[in-house]
Amino acid sequence: MRRKKQKQEININFANLNPYGVNIFNVWVKFPKKLFFIFLSALLYNVGVAIFLNKAATVASGVSALVQALTYTVSATAPYFAYIYFAINLPLIIIFWKKNSSLFMVMTLYWLIFQMVVQSFFLIPAVHNAFDKISFYYVNWTKDTPFKDLIPWDVYGTNYPPHVLPGVPNPTWPIIIYAIVGGLAAGASSGLAWKNSGSTAGSDIIVYYVSRVKKMGIGFISTIFALIIAAFSALLIGILEATGVIKNHPWNLASYLLRCISTLVYIFVYNGFVEILYPKYRKVKIEIYTKNPQKVIEHLKEIKYWHGYNYVDMTSGYTGENTTKIETMALYLEQSRIKAEISNIDPQAWIVVSTVNKIFGNFNTSKIDE
């Protein structure tokens, strides 16, 4: 009897995590727009990594640190980052498939698939060479040098043609620029994925679970995870480069320290951007001033409004007319939906939204956890 009860509870919990009845097949019908943006996210992420972060040799954070360790020690695997990343993520997908929202897991799985598709395109020699050519700094630049003859900056200074190697300048300042721009691109990619019910996989899968259970912001938890893993990654890469294990990566302490600093910059830029685009548990106070309170309140009951609210009759100091203020606390990501519901019932309602710093007590987050 007890086992049957436990099984029933598990089924109920899983049903709550999949209110849309979504799976890897019907998601194309139910959420085609979200899938499109998930694809754009994967594309933007690959561009950010291929053009900027890889060139800065920033230290990977999250699950991608495992891939970086492999591609550093076995350089032949470097072009297949997305495929290795997918393989490493499969255990996480399986473990958290019934612990996280089904829509989130399906979208994250497709993000991984789209990433492999995009990287396959980037492996085409002409495309790969075109991206390699893009740089903020060219070591042989002059105003008379044709673009096809320009030599892009290389963080290690080992990929220059032999005829330019002697005395070629190899500054370290591009590392910071690449890290910032790459962080913005990757952060925008991640924020786009989160806004469309997915993620960039890896530690994001764990972050989502912790965030949902602890009701904490995605950006904050992700930053903590990233800093911890980046610290271990930096130590490992430092050892590998200092001991000469990695070929064509000559040890340069100043460059290494700058790359570590750039990684910190990248982490904060990346997660700051995610928090701006997807402030999951940020709270707001919504005040609705209406002359049709009965209709508005009845509508809130009809839609089974999921937050508490109160109302009070008052007199306008400006017009002298009677009005009613309905006040509720909601999540930042819910405000558009709430405003739309109110405007449909009372287009003349005056709605004020203000930021709430902290709320102590239970708060219903089911609508954004779906």
CB–CB of 198/110 below 8 Å? yes
Whether residues 183 and 36 fall in one domain: yes
* Six token digits for residue 57: 């040799």
Strand, helix or coil for residue 7? helix
Is the pLDDT assigned to residue 14 strictly greater than 60? no
Q: Can you say how many angstroms the Cα of residue 253 is from the centroid of all Cα atoms in its chain?
A: 31
Whether residues 179 and 221 fall in one domain: yes
* Six token digits for residue 361: 């007590």
Q: Which of 277, 293, 328 is the last residue of a domain?
A: 277
Q: What is the pLDDT of residues 94-130, one digit of tens each?
A: 999 999 999 999 999 999 999 999 999 988 999 888 8
Q: Examine residue 2 and state whether it is found in any structural domain, yes or no.
A: no
Q: What is the pLDDT of residues 26-82, one digit of tens each?
A: 999 999 999 999 999 999 998 888 778 888 888 777 778 777 777 766 767 778 888
Whether residues 179 and 327 fall in one domain: no
* Six token digits for residue 216: 């904490």
- Predicted confidence band at 9 (pLDDT cuts at 50, 70, 90)? very low
- CA 207, 234, 52, 258 torsion: positive or negative? positive
- Looking at residue 294, which CATH number applies to its domain? 3.30.70.120
Q: What is the mean pLDDT of residues 331-341?
A: 91
Number of structural domains the chain divides into: 2
Whether residues 267 and 290 fall in one domain: no
Whether residues 63 and 181 fall in one domain: yes
Distance CA(83)–CA(197), nearest Å, equals: 22
pLDDT for res 145: 87
Does residue 353 come out as left (phi exceeding 0), alpha (psi in the -120 to 50 range) or beta? beta
In one-letter notation, the amino acid at residue 181 is V
Distance CA(218)–CA(233), nearest Å, equals: 22
Distance CA(78)–CA(67), nearest Å, equals: 9
Whether residues 105 and 236 fall in one domain: yes
Whether residues 261 and 206 fall in one domain: yes
Q: Examine residue 352 and state whether it is found in any structural domain, yes or no.
A: yes
Strand-pair partners of 328: 286, 309
Is the pLDDT assigned to residue 5 strictly greater than 80? no
Is the pLDDT assigned to residue 270 strictly greater than 50? yes
Q: What is the mean pLDDT of residues 200-213?
A: 91
Is the pLDDT assigned to residue 204 strictly greater than 70? yes
Which range has the top average pLDDT, 105-114, 148-157, 219-228, 235-244?
Answer: 105-114
Whether residues 266 and 292 fall in one domain: no
Whether residues 326 and 191 fall in one domain: no
Whether residues 115 and 199 fall in one domain: yes
Instruction: Find all residues with CB under 8 Å of 369, minimum gap 6, and list them.
Output: 101, 212
Q: Which of 277, 297, 330 is the last residue of a domain?
A: 277
Q: Examine residue 18 and state whether it is found in any structural domain, yes or no.
A: no
- CA 49, 53, 57, 59 torsion: positive or negative? negative
Percentage of the residues of the chain whose pLDDT score is greater than 70: 93
Q: Which domain holds residue 51?
A: 26-160+171-277
Any idea which residue has 């070629």 for tokens?
168
Whether residues 81 and 141 fall in one domain: yes
Q: Examine residue 20 and state whether it is found in any structural domain, yes or no.
A: no
Q: Which of 277, 301, 318 is the last residue of a domain?
A: 277
Instruction: Find all residues with CB under 8 Å of 4, minimum gap 6, and list them.
Output: none
Instruction: Write the DSSP string, 276-296.
Output: HH--TT-EEEEEEEES-HHHH
Whether residues 256 and 291 fall in one domain: no
Q: What is the pLDDT of residues 175-203, one digit of tens each?
A: 889 888 888 888 889 989 998 999 999 99
Q: Examine residue 246 and state whether it is found in any structural domain, yes or no.
A: yes
